[in-house]
């Protein structure tokens, strides 16, 4: 019964409100698509980080094996760190000056985080704008209700109800689009902060190991 009422209210809404609802539904579908994509991406990433890190630390002296392993874990955050910061050391048997090494490590971390942030701006935009887009539909619906009252000279429920219904539906759909987007955006931003710390710790551990190894060879 409620579904029929909801559907009828949308079908009987004005063209402006229908357009707003359609746009909000598109935003909602886009939001959920991004959320699912990011959840799968980050899950796969965590798994490959763990697997590659185990291979790396267990075979630290075997640069050839590690180089081949990078192909098996393309989603890992630390693959680029290993390729740029670790492999050249064993190929040239010489560690870059610490300032240059640190600068490269920071650049890789920034590139990785920039890649991970892709599409998150859409979630932020939907989360902040969808309620106001819904509010536009609400205002329009209320305006139509007052317009019908003025035309009919009556404020009966049959005159006011259609405009109020589409107004409330616009608000509800706006919130339905905004709430998941805001929650997911904040959750993913926290994940990025964790990944930043993870990469920094990995780089620090790697530099310490390479520095110690270089000193032992000196």
pLDDT digits (tens, 9 = 90+) for 88-142: 877 666 667 778 888 988 999 999 999 999 999 999 999 999 999 998 888 887 8
Angle at alpha carbon of residue 110, lines to 107 and 114, rounded to 5°? 140
Q: CB of 1 within 8 A of CB of 117? A: no
- Residue 163 clears pLDDT 80, i.e. is over it: no
Q: CB of 184 within 8 A of CB of 125? A: no
pLDDT value at position 55? Answer: 93
What values do phi and psi take at 119, rounded to 5? 80, -15
pLDDT value at position 9? Answer: 65
Average pLDDT over residues 147-166: 65
CA distance 112 to 199: 9
CA distance 144 to 160: 9
Q: How many CB atoms lie within 10 A of CB 68?
A: 11
CA distance 171 to 165: 10
Number of H helices, E strands in the chain: 8, 0
Tell which phi-psi region holds residue 93, choosing left (phi > 0), alpha (psi between -120 and 50) or beta: left
- Residue 209 clears pLDDT 80, i.e. is over it: yes
Q: CB of 13 within 8 A of CB of 25? A: no
Average pLDDT over residues 156-185: 82
CA distance 85 to 47: 22
- Residue 152 clears pLDDT 70, i.e. is over it: no
Structural tokens at position 123: 């979630």
> 80-84, 135-139, 148-152: which range is least confident on average?
148-152
Query: Is 185 exposed, middle or buried, given 0-12, 13-18 or 19+ CB atoms closer than 10 A?
Result: buried
- Residue 144 clears pLDDT 90, i.e. is over it: no
pLDDT value at position 72? Answer: 92
Handedness of CA 71, 77, 78, 84 (dihedral sign): positive
Query: Is 5 exposed, middle or buried, given 0-12, 13-18 or 19+ CB atoms closer than 10 A?
Result: exposed
pLDDT value at position 207? Answer: 86
Angle at alpha carbon of residue 108, lines to 35 and 44, rounded to 5°? 35
| Average confidence score pLDDT of the chain | 85
């Amino acid at each position: 019964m409620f579904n029929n009422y909801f559907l009828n209210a949308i079908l009987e809404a004005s063209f402006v409100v229908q357009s707003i609802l359609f746009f909000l539904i598109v935003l909602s579908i886009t939001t959920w698509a991004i959320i699912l994509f990011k959840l799968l991406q980050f899950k796969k990433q965590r798994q490959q980080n763990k697997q590659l890190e185990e291979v790396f630390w267990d075979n630290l002296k075997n640069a050839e094996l590690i180089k081949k392993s990078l192909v098996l874990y393309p989603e890992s955050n630390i693959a680029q760190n290993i390729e740029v910061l670790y492999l050249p050391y064993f190929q040239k048997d010489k560690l870059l000056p610490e300032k240059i090494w640190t600068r490269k490590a920071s650049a890789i971390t920034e590139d990785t985080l920039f890649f991970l942030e892709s599409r998150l701006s859409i979630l932020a935009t939907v989360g902040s704008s969808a309620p106001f887009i819904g509010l536009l539909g609400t205002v329009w619906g209320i305006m139509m209700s007052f317009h019908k009252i003025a035309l009919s000279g009556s404020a009966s429920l049959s005159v006011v109800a259609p405009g109020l219904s589409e107004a409330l539906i616009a608000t509800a759909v706006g919130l339905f689009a905004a709430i998941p987007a805001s929650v997911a955006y904040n959750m993913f931003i926290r994940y990025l902060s964790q990944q930043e710390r993870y990469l920094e710790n990995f780089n620090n551990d790697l530099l310490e190991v390479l520095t110690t190894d270089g000193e032992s060879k000196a």
